[in-house]
Structure 1
Amino acid sequence: MAQLSTEVPGDERGTLLSFVEAQRTAIRETLEGLTEEQAASRPSASELSLSGLAKHVAEVEVAWLRMAQQRENERQRTPETRTEAFRLVEDETVPGVLGFWDGIARETEAFIAAVPSLDDMFPLPQAPWFPKDGKVSMRWMLLHLVEEFARHAGHADIVRESLDGTRAMG
């Protein structure tokens, strides 16, 4: 599991990164002790599985990181692969997804540590859900990751509780 350094700086960067990591951890903890089959199961009315949620949030983080870095996203989904965003396919495994996410988490931390200012902006891609010629700050991105991960941590907690009664967040 990726972890921030043992001392979390009290500055804004350290604080925001610690909140991002806390939400990552909440999602990861829902997978503890499960088999691949259990992690892929959908025990609630939702189509969500724990392994699918982990894959989704890892891909969300890499997408936002690549936007901020203004680099190509190696995990970019196409209309044909969009349905694979919430489920493991082919030879994907929970450890593999979590390992990928660990790498992205470390990369996010290093990138944020290196940007001159959290006020630095980057352009949003053209998409119906983004404003035309929109830009956001590094701070906005980190807060968005907290929001996104927290939403899915709640989903993951409900799926895990439906699966075996375990309350990862309680």
Structure 2
Amino acid sequence: MTENITPEQADLLEILKTRRYFLRSAVEGLTDEQAALTPTVSELCVGGLIKHVSATETEWADFIVRGPIAGGGMEWSEEAVAAYGNQFRMLDGETVDGILAAYDEVAARTDALVLSEDLDKRWPLPEAPWFEKGATRSVRQVFLHVAAETAHHSGHADIIRETIDGKKSMG
């Protein structure tokens, strides 16, 4: 860290760190095979959720640096939809260690952005059915969204983990 870190930057880093901790804890001690299990009625697995959160955090970090992708970045080709779906599962050859190492790289990049970007900078959101037309987001809001997204999927991962072996993140 740096000596010139503001209290707000420290708070953002702390909230991101704690949300990531809870997501990561859902995979702690699992084998690659267990992390790929889909023991609930959903098709989600713990390893896939970490991949998805990592991919989502990467997309938002890119948004912070470059703004929205022309055309919203949405592609609905069969290949694009399949690639998106693969974010939620562990593919052949993927390991817990590899997924966590990639997530650590994404987290380090995001944390560096917390320290280097103007939190008040705003970008227009891409056109998408889930965004209000003409809406913008500040860099600050994006970091808070990443923390919320991570917490959201930590809950999913916690339920899946409890179904696998009874381990709970709390309690």
Q: Which residue of 1 aligns with 2:54?
A: 58
TM-score, scaled relative to structure 1 = 0.85
After alignment, is 102-111 or 131-140 more displaced?
Answer: 131-140
Structure 2 matches for 1:17-28, cutoff 5 A? 17-28=13-24
Q: Residue 39 of structure 1: CA displacement?
A: 0.4
Q: Would you say the 8 A contact 1:26–1:153 is kept in 2? A: yes
> Unaligned 5+ residue runs, structure 2?
none
Is 2:13 the partner of 1:30? no
Is 2:45 the partner of 1:43? no
Q: Which residue of 2 aligns with 1:95?
A: 97
Change (3 A) 1:166 1:65: same
Aligned equivalents of 1:72, 1:136: Cα separation in 2 = 10
SS of residue paired to 1:127: coil
Change (3 A) 1:40 1:81: same
Matched to 1:118, the amino acid is L
Q: Which residue of 2 aligns with 1:160?
A: 161
TM-score, scaled relative to structure 2 = 0.85
> Unaligned 5+ residue runs, structure 1?
none
Q: Kindly, what percent of the aligned residue pairs are identical? A: 40
Matched to 1:98, the amino acid is L
Q: Would you say the 8 A contact 1:40–1:51 is kept in 2? A: yes
Aligned equivalents of 2:113, 2:133: Cα separation in 1 = 26
Q: Which residue of 2 aligns with 1:110?
A: 112
Change (3 A) 1:45 1:69: same
More helix by percentage: 2
After alignment, is 18-27 or 117-126 more displaced?
Answer: 117-126
SS of residue paired to 1:79: helix
Aligned equivalents of 1:84, 1:156: Cα separation in 2 = 16
When the two chains are superposed, the root-mean-square deviation of aligned CA atoms in Å is 2.3
SS of residue paired to 2:57: helix
Aligned residues: 162
SS of residue paired to 1:12: helix
Q: Residue 118 of structure 1: CA displacement?
A: 1.2
Q: Which residue of 2 aligns with 1:130?
A: 131
